[in-house]
Amino acid sequence: MSELDLTALHGMHDVLRREAIGLTRSTFRPGHDPRRVLPWRLFKQSLRLHFAAEDRALWPPLRRRLARRPDRLTLLEALEAEHAALEEVIDVIDELHANPGIDAGIGGLRDLTDSLVTGLAGHLKHEEDGAFPLIRQVLTARQWGRFTDLHTWPAGLGHWDAAP
């Protein structure tokens, strides 16, 4: 088993959880108040950069290292699908936030943000319980270093796959 230090990744997950909960309390109300829009944009950008770093520098080496273990590859497929589902919720929230007159149905924007927080919490737990042990088991220090470099300084992601 590898001695990779996942402290920063755990920390990022904790920050995402905390900020998501905070945003549901203050940010997601219809209107264009910049005090509400800015925290949403920063949260969304941080989350998308986190996802992009995983999609570019974490899942591919894990996929290669687990190529002969299809039971483990299904975990990566599920995590990637969760990223896509959360991105869809973000896109709908953006649309409703930008166009407060759109009818979002019962509960509207608030229900969507609650879904985002719940979905994100489940996804982060799924990563921690499933992917983190695999990371420690199969990634090399070099592969982990590439991910952490990209995750902590995302300039290598281009400007931007994870657009605000």
Task: Indicate if the pLDDT at residue 160 is higher than 80.
Answer: no
Q: Which pLDDT score, from 0 to 100, does residue 82 have?
A: 97
159, part of any domain: no
What distance in Å separates the CA atoms of residue 1 and residue 149, rounded to the nearest whole number? 22
**Domain range holding 73?**
7-154
Which ranges constitute the DSSP H helices of 31-131? 34-57, 59-65, 70-98, 108-126
2, part of any domain: no
120, part of any domain: yes
Instruction: Please classify residue 159 by burial: count the beta carbons closer than 10 Å to its beta carbon, then call 0-12 exposed, 13-18 middle and 19+ buried.
Output: exposed
Question: What tens digit of pLDDT does each residue of 1-58 get?
Answer: 458 999 999 999 999 999 888 877 665 555 555 456 668 888 899 999 999 999 999 9
**Overall number of domains in the chain:** 1
End-to-end CA distance of the chain: 37
Tokens of 29: 């109300």
164, part of any domain: no
Task: Indicate if the pLDDT at residue 92 is higher than 60.
Answer: yes
99, part of any domain: yes
163, part of any domain: no
Report CA 33 to chain centroid distance, whole Å: 25
Q: Which pLDDT score, from 0 to 100, does residue 100 have?
A: 67
- Better pLDDT: 105 or 141: 141
CA separation (Å) from 69 to 76, 80, 129, 143, 147? 11, 17, 18, 19, 22
Q: Which pLDDT score, from 0 to 100, does residue 144 have?
A: 94
Over the chain, what is the mean pLDDT? 83
Which of 48-57, 75-84, 94-103 bottoms out in mean pLDDT, i.e. has the lowest? 94-103
